[in-house]
Structure formats: structure tokens, C-alpha cells
Amino acid sequence: MAVEAAPRGLRVTPRKLAKYPPLVLICIGFLGLVLFAAAFADLVAPKPYTAQDLLNRLKPPSFLGGPAQYLFGTDELGRDVLSRLLYGIRVSVLVAILGTVIGAVVGTFLGFVAAHVRGIVEETIMMMVDVQAAVPFLIIALAVLAFFGNSLTLFIIIMGINGWENYARLTRGMVLSASTHGYAVAVRSLGAKPLRIYGRHILPNIASALIVQFTLNFPSTILLETSLSFLGLGIQPPLTSLGQMLGAGRNHLILAWWIAVVPGVTIFLTTLSISIVGDWLRDRLDPTLRGR
């Protein structure tokens, strides 16, 4: 069992793994799989996702009696569900990551600005936070899509706006409380400039709370995209996303339920895994945070 080559800290020993709850490990494993699928969809997919096989339309998955080459069956145009699933994962995951990162960066930045500049700027930013929190974002997103039409850029911007207010509110609160007490005052009295105080001292100390917020926000962004795509107002064909597959599959529920169920289960397991990992992370990083 001795693995001499790797340095002590990096060895993945059974003892080390045992420190993590098995459920969390399974979820991390699943998420790893999802990321792999997103990254390598075109290498792994058995068929191109637009390839139609009209003789084999609406065939069930191979493990339920369908043709052997279609693991998850085919849809109404004979396209391989597995391949479409992989490409759909790629689109959904990419859009969600992009959106969440944009939201996190913009939100955190605005939170810092609000806490640092104070005054009317802070009031304005917090007012925007209130407004964003007041109306359900799905409605706003639908309205914007209605008024401006649906372009991919606009869609990603909308994903980015989802949830920024949580980061802003969180960051501002933490920076304010850090600024009035403790080490922030101490380092300032040492003569440090604000950038150094924020970047080297405050940010690392609030990072864990931000990471937790990220794990709360990411599933919500995925769900936003999939909901909009499901309603036909999100990712448009020929691009495919998980929500879109579900939406399209809805019309064939009786004859070919797998078209909808396969992407649906994938979405569900993904958000579930992120929630579980997020909970565990929150418990680990700060046991004083209350579970929401």
C-alpha cells in the first residue's frame, strides 16, 4: 500500500478519504463526471448531436430493449439522446459557470465599493440590491427576453445578473464589520493602503463565506437557464441545452419518455450534488453559519 513517490500531503489514502462523508464523495465524483462531460463532449459523444437517423426515431434506451448503439435511446428525429445529453451538459454548465462567475465578481466588487465609498454610492447600490431581491428574477428575465429578443450574449448577461445581489450584500456587510473592528483598523494604522487592506486581509478572510454563496448561487443559475430553456425562451436550436431537451421531450412523453427524463434526471442530480457539497463545505468552513 505504500506509495513512496507522491509527497505526503498529496497522497490519496483511504484514511484521508474516510474523513469525508461518503455522500459528499459520491456527489463530488458525480460533479467531476459532469465537468468531464462538459469539457470533452465532442470527444466522448458517440454521435454528433445533430445527426439524424430517421429510421430509428423514438427508440427506447438500449438497456430497455432498444437498439444497441443508442444507450439512452433516440428522440423524434432519430438523434442520439446520449450525445445530445453530453452537448447539452456542456452548454448548460458553461452558461451556468459563466453566469455565476460574472455575478460573483460583479457582486463582490460592488459590495467592496459600497463598503469603501459609503454615502450616496452605498445607498444606491443597496437600493439596487433591494430591488433585485424584491422581484423574482425569472419574471424579470422573461420580460427582458420579451422586450429585447433572445440572443446568446443577452442570455449570458441575464445569467450573470442572477444572484449578484447576494454577493454584494454579503461582501458589504462583512467588509463593514471588518473595517470598524480589529485587524482592518490595525493594518490601516500601520499605514497600509486600502487596496492592500482589502486584497490581502479582508478578502481572504471573507472568501469562505463567498464560496458558500457560490454553491448556493450556482444551482439557482442552472435552474434559471434550464427553466427558461424549458419554456422555449432560453437556449435556442440548433444549440441544445438540458432544459431545452426537457422542453422538447415534453411533447413525446407517452411514446418516448426518456427524451425528457434523461436530461431531467441529470439536472436534478447536478443541483442536488452541488447543494449537498455546498452544505458540507459550509459546515466545514464556518460551523457558526446557520443552515438555510
Binding residues (CB under 8 A) for another protein: these are: 127-128, 130-131, 134-140, 142-148, 181-183, 185-193, 196, 201, 204-205, 219, 223, 226-227, 230-233, 243, 246, 250, 253-254, 257, 260-261, 264-265, 267-268, 271-272, 275-276, 279, 290-292
Closest approach of Cβ 143 to another protein, in Å? Answer: 5
CA distance 143 to 54: 38
**Least distance to another protein, CB of residue 24, Å:** 13
> What's the sign of the alpha-carbon dihedral 145, 239, 219, 250?
positive
In whole angstroms, how close is the CB of 38 to another protein at the nearest point? Answer: 18
Q: Which is nearer to another protein, 21 or 29 (CB)?
A: 21
- At closest approach, how far in Å is the CB of 226 from another protein? 6
Residue found under cell 460583479:
106
CA dihedral 70, 76, 82, 85 (to 10 degrees): 180
Helix (H, G, I), strand (E, B) or coil at 76: coil
Q: How far is the CB of 183 from another protein (least distance, A)?
A: 5
| Torsion angle of C-alpha atoms 166, 169, 171, 172, degrees rounded to 10 | 170
C-alpha cell at 49: 448531436
Cell of 174: 462583512
Q: How far apart are CA 137 and CA 192, in angstroms?
A: 40
> What angle is formed at CA 276 by the lines to CA 274 and CA 277, rounded to 5 degrees?
65
**74 - beta bridge partners?**
80
The CB-of-256 to another protein minimum distance in angstroms stands at: 11
User: Considering beta carbons, is residue 37 or 223 the nearer one to another protein?
Assistant: 223
